[in-house]
Amino acid sequence: MELLSGADMIARALHDEGVEYIYGYPGGAALHIYDALFRQDKVQHILVRHEQAATHAADGYARASGKPGVVLVTSGPGATNAVTGIATAYMDSIPMVVLCGQVASHLIGEDAFQETDIVGVTRPIVKHSFSIKHPSEIPEVIKKAFYLASSGRPGPVVIDIPKDMTAPTERYEYSYPKKVRMRSYSPVTRGHSGQIKKAVELMLKARRPLFFTGGGVVSGRASEALTDLVRRLNFPITTSLMGIGAYPQGDRQCLGWPGMHGSYESNNAMHHTDLIICIGARFDDRVTNNTSKFCPTAKIIHVDIDPSSVSKTVRADVPIVGPADAVINEMISLVQGRELANPDALEAWWSQIDGWRAEREGKLYEPSAPGEPLKPQQVVEAVHRATRGEAFVATDVGQHQMFAAQYYKFQRPNRWITSGGLGTMGFGFPAAMGIKMSYPEDDVVLFTGEGSFQMMMQEFSTCKQYGIGVKIINLNNQSLGMVRQWQDLNYKSRHSHSYMESLPDFVQLAGAYGFRAIKVHTVEELEPALEEAFRNKDELVFLDIYVDPREHVYPMQVPLGSMRDMLLTKTERT
């Protein structure tokens, strides 16, 4: 058996785990590990310009590939800078392993230089965490961390590594375990058959059924099975913001996504359905609006791998704890050869839904006339056309995020990359980098705004270093659009600190790093700029697109109302 130092064990274990990229930033407590990385060439380290970007880049990689993202930071500020990214991954159940340097064991608790109790700081935002107590534990802890991060309901795992655990002078036997077992952790592998039968009977008898599926279908790789089941039954489906792409958008059966800014037909269908078949979504407050008025006539089947998600905010009538793919496949085998009890009712339900669709057809927004400021929605639609709906799309947070979700139509899962749960501004740019590095042949688009982008714009430098060709669509409305929208609606248009004064000239800024950048003001300039931007897939291009700052995101649910209570435009409501 080989003798390795703790630091070399880390590098080796990451390779044995199949890790391609680590995103990180060096510092004192992590230097032994960085030296070990220098002396190998299997795992590639990507140097970001801020630790938060490391976590978001790893997160973007994980969301696109389905594999855990890996982060390496030093102790103290290195680790605390990573906290927002860890919380972002936690809220969206993204597999991630974060290795944090720590001060040497004998200094812990003494307020040593760059010491933070990062295990304590991150406790509420991790799936689990480890602190290395002896170098010989390293291979097993790393194996456990990857197993925990990627199995069951995925999530981030932190490993705290005191500097003396990686000392080059101490060597121990290295072998990487093929498997780990933990007596206190055994994620379910299938759902309860009796419950699934019960669910299927309800589905066959339903008069106004509706699938409502979420991120669990994406991370559970159950998209194909879901599409099969939904098509067999000819039921309508709405996917949560996190579940976009798990069922092809634009398909007749897909109603878009529900919730605060969800589609008119989705929210109406949710309100009127008599059976919600929820798979891998968690009925969060941005979906349900007021839970006491939520879906008054619906029975709820709730499939989730995490029992604590079931009946948390909304009581499930048929709870099923299990992985999405296994449960859906069991449902498929049960519906095979069976007939719907009320096919006429389903027909009538479809006409009702088509009626809602027709009501809003062509009324979603007013495209701008030549010479007028561009509408953000039409920019998203133009990008969708330019990329044939096949790009990876990362976003930041705010109006542009909602417009991107509403107007870019995804055909596949893992292509829509957004911070849904935590709503982290600054997420998008590094996430796009993480995606592009793993999918160099694909178009990777970042929809951002001038507010979000400035939170992580230092990453231009990382893109320059590694030649990362993401396409940045800056929907520049010179204000914090979503904040401004709420101020318009709830604070009599008192725009408290939602106006971004002293914006940089983004074209010059991108130019300073050597990137092509184009300012776009009018509809005539848009198509040629997009054409130029997407001509070369290896090149980072920044489009600074000025859009109408007065535009609001609609529909918008009325606070404390039911699913169908919506503002449809600035002057219309349901």
Partner 1 sequence: MRHIISILMENEPGALSRVVGLFSQRNFNIETLNVAPTEDATLSRLTVTTVGEDRVIEQITKHLNKLVDVVKLVDLTEGSHIERELMLVKVKALGAQRDEIKRTADIFRAQIVDITPSLYTIQITGDGGKLDAFLAAMQPVGVLEVARTGVSGIARGEKVLSL
Q: Which residues bind partner 1 (CB under 8 A)?
A: 119-120, 123-124, 127-129, 131, 148, 182-185, 306-308, 311-312, 315
What are the φ and ψ backbone dihedral angles of 401, each rounded to 5 degrees? -65, -45
Distance CA(234)–CA(344), nearest Å, equals 12
Q: Check residue 106 and report its DSSP letter.
A: G
| Terminal Cα distance for the chain, rounded | 71
The verdict on whether 182 is a catalytic residue reads no
Q: How far is the CB of 6 from partner 1 (least distance, A)?
A: 19
The Cα diameter of the chain in Å comes to 76
Closer residue to partner 1 in complex, CB, 128/357: 128
CA geometry: angle 105, 106, 111, nearest 5 deg? 90
What is the distance between the alpha carbons of residues 226 and 235, in angstroms, rounded to a whole number?
Answer: 11
Tell me the two tokens of residue 297: 């006539």
Strand 566-567 versus strand 556-557 pairing type: antiparallel
Find the catalytic residue in 163, 375, 436, 471: 163
* 114 is a catalytic site residue: yes
CB of 520 to partner 1, least distance (A): 45
Does residue 27 sit in helix, strand or coil? coil
By C-beta, is 155 or 376 nearer to partner 1?
155
How deeply is 292 buried, as exposed, middle or buried, from its count of CB atoms within 10 A (0-12, 13-18, 19+)?
Answer: exposed
Q: Which residue lies nearer to partner 1 by CB, 119 or 568?
A: 119
> Angle of helix 399-407 relative to helix 481-490, nearest 10 degrees?
100
Contacts of 57 (CB under 8 A, 6+ apart): 23, 46, 48, 69, 430, 431, 433, 434, 437
Whether residue 279 contacts residue 211, with contact meaning beta carbons closer than 8 Å, is answered with yes
CB nearer to partner 1: give 35 or 306.
306
Minimum gap (Å) between residue 524 Cβ and partner 1: 53
Query: 17, 51, 265, 381: which is the annotated catalytic residue?
Result: 51
Q: Which of 402, 437, 482, 563 is catalytic?
A: 482
CB of 195 to partner 1, least distance (A): 16
Place of tokens 């740019």: 429
Task: Return the number of the residue (60 or 95) whose C-beta is nearest partner 1.
Answer: 95
Cα separation, 319 vs 303, in Å, equals 6
Beta-bridged to residue 542, according to DSSP, are 472, 517
Whichever of 120 and 250 has its CB closer to partner 1, that residue is 120
Q: Would you state the structure tokens that stand for residue 272, as one six-digit string?
A: 């009127």
What is the strand order of the sheet 416-417 is part of?
416-417, 392-395, 444-448, 471-476, 541-546, 516-520
Tell me the CA distances in angstroms from 127 to 89, 123, 157, 268, 546, one per residue in order: 10, 8, 6, 35, 41
As measured in angstroms, the least distance from the Cβ of 74 to partner 1 is 21
Q: Is 113 a catalytic residue?
A: yes
- The catalytic position among 38, 40, 113, 527 is 113
- Residue 130 to residue 326: CA distance in whole angstroms: 31
Instruction: Tell me whether residue 192 or residue 205 sits nearer to partner 1 (CB atom).
Output: 192
**Which lies closer to partner 1 via its Cβ, residue 124 or residue 337?**
124
Q: Which residues are part of the catalytic machinery? A: 51, 113-114, 163, 482
